[in-house]
Structure 1
Amino acid sequence: MLLFALLVSLSFFFGHFIAADIEPGVLMALRFALASVMLWGLLWWLGVRPVWARFWRFALIGALMAIYFITMFEALGRTTAVSTAAVFTLTPLMAAGYGWLILRQTTGPWVFSALLIGAIGAVWVIFRADLAALMRFEIGAGEAIFFFGALAHAAVPALLRRYCQDVSPLQSSFGTTLGALLVTLVYAAPEAVVTAFAELPARVWWVLAYLTIVTTALTFFLLQYASKRLPPAKVMAYTYLVPSWVVLWEISAGRWPAALILLGVAATLVALFMLLRAEAPARKTL
């Protein structure tokens, strides 16, 4: 999940550069199509059969991932990468709720406190460290759009743990990627027909390659591997690192966030360390 957070943060950073170049649905359709072919080839090379039984579960999880990715790129065209990443850090608290609803997993006081601190830090960044805007609940259009994507993404770990324990991470990665492709094709078909693919700038294809290889195939695998070994809230807790990484990428590009916004990022880091401390006693008993 540490690697997951690093790789996902780059997708926010890169996605911000091409958000105006291509429709999000079309980009995601290309991404899932290429990733499905790549994962199918990997399954064939390893001699592992795809799982078609109860394919509805892969379609459901894939649909949630498709919603997440499409809303992310819709949001990146309307707000900053740091703010979008901050919305993403609300997912651990949401995941804890899904963990109780789907798996009946309870969250202890220490873990819940950590999730709450992380959520407060995220809200601080989302409202750009403006208390007046927070009191008036003036949330930007990009942040509002991506909130629903984060809500969809937060359900994934609990659903994976409930419905995909009988398949390997690679098999479930292929199934969910294919499911995401089928859902995205329905959404993106009208825009795909009128898109001039030959006229797209080279940066779109470079970002597409990264999204396909790294933040589709690889991160799907990492998420599904972790979801079988950690509670949903703990899986999503590592997303608290994402805004910190995005801030570092933004600084490397010469864009410094406001100092007060960094306080919110710091709160998400405190939440992560609290969750790691809560995990430590369990590891010692193994």
Structure 2
Amino acid sequence: MNRQTLKYPRSFIHLLMLLMVALIASSFPVGALITSGLPPEVMMFLRFLLAALLFAPYVFLKNGWQLPRARNLAGYAALSIPLVVFFWCMFEALRYTSALNTGAIYTIVPAITALYVFFINREKTSKRRASGLLLGTLGALWIVFRGDINNLLQLDINHGDLLFLLGCLFMGAYNPMIKKLYSGEAMELMTFWVISFGTLWLLLLSLPTLDQIEWQAVDSQVYLGILYLAIFTTLISFFLLQLGTLVLGATQVAAYSFLTPVFVVILNLFIDSAVFQWQLLPGIAFVLIAMILVQREGYSLQNA
């Protein structure tokens, strides 16, 4: 691990993780507002391109211009693939499902991450952590089905939910891959090159449709939304995610996604003037308890 990641107190990293999950949660309602403005791959291409261009001056002024080793570049290219698949699935899914549903489904990422951690990082999951992951998954199901057992028995899910679930399967691999591929470079370098490779893949996906878009007819709110996503939920969030993974571990950081539906519910109250649904409270309670269990497990291991 690079020494620069060791100088941050763990309590400060936990605060940064709260900021990270709040930013990630904001991407769901913002994405829902603009998802019909452009094709998902084009919207994601612009988002990643803006993030890379805005970040480039800082990265190169601090570290100088030098191309990473071929092995590192291959690692960055591999790391970018789960992100591209996840975000494409997210924006395509938001055409068919709600921001709350996607935010709730996102809370199963820690359980998926735990499986990848076992196979990629060879780390076992304790009983306490497994209990937390199970509670978090139950909480996510409760929120998706609005606490209605009939909806659960009838599998009242839609195409968007299934598509986003596929994206979460890819996203679960991202955190353990960071620990596997990180070789001690400056964190901003890894963030920049991962975003840059993501931009390249999304450009290739977007090429067939780029010349068919009437750019002047696109609502200005769509461009503002993309700018917000590029800065806050791409550039800043990726940096915080990678930093947190190296300090706290993949599963512990992923557990913060249990809080995503809580933040989505809060944001929807402000953005859409939605009415709070009290039947969601048990699900929210489950995901809060789940996060606490996983975080206490990480704290116990750190102080053992």
TM-score, normalisation: structure 1: 0.94
The structural deviation recorded for 1:52 is 4.4
Please, which runs of 5 or more residues in structure 2 have no aligned partner?
1-16
Once the 2 structures are TM-superposed, how far is the Cα of residue 53 of structure 1 from its aligned partner?
2.3
Q: Deviations over 1:14-73 (max 9, x none)?
A: 111111111111110011111122222211221344524222211111111011111111
In 2, Cα distance between equivalents of 1:47 and 1:121:
43
| 8 A contact 1:43–1:50 mirrored in 2 | no
Aligned position for 2:8? none
Q: Which residue of 1 aligns with 2:31?
A: 15
- Please show how residues 121-270 of structure 1 align to structure 2 within 5 Å: 121-252=139-270, 253-270=272-289
Match of 1:51 in 2: 68
Q: Could you say what secondary structure the match of 1:254 adopts?
A: coil
CA–CA separation in structure 1 for the residues paired with 2:89 and 2:264: 18
Q: CA deviation at 1:211?
A: 1.0
1:75 equivalent in alignment to 2:90: no
The answer for the alignment partner of 2:43 in structure 1 is 27
Give the match for residue 9 of structure 2: none
| Corresponding residue SS for 1:160 | helix
- The 10-residue stretch of structure 1 (87-96 or 174-183) with the greater mean CA deviation from structure 2: 174-183
* C-alpha deviation, 1:268, in angstroms: 0.8
Deviation at residue 77 of structure 1 after TM alignment = 1.4
Q: Within the alignment, does 1:2 sit opposite 2:18 as a pair?
A: yes
Question: Which of 107, 110, 118 is residue 92 of structure 1 equivalent to?
Answer: 110
Q: 2:103 is paired with a residue of what secondary structure? A: helix
The amino acid of 1:53's aligned partner reads A
Distance 1:63 1:282 in 2: 31
State the number of aligned residues.
Answer: 285
Residue 104 of structure 1, aligned match among 110, 122, 127: 122
Distance between the aligned counterparts of 1:147 and 1:281, measured in 2? 31
- Which has the larger displacement, 80-89 or 253-262? 253-262
| Counterpart residue identity of residue 51, structure 1 | P
C-alpha distance in 2 between matches for 1:266 and 1:157: 25
1:216 is aligned with what amino acid? T
Percent identical across equivalent pairs? 29
Aligned match of 1:273 in 292, 296, 299?
A: 292
- TM (norm. structure 2) is 0.89
Question: Can you give the 5+ residue segments of structure 1 that lack an aligned partner in the other structure?
Answer: none
- Is contact 1:72-1:84 (8 Å) kept? yes
Change (3 A) 1:220 1:174: same
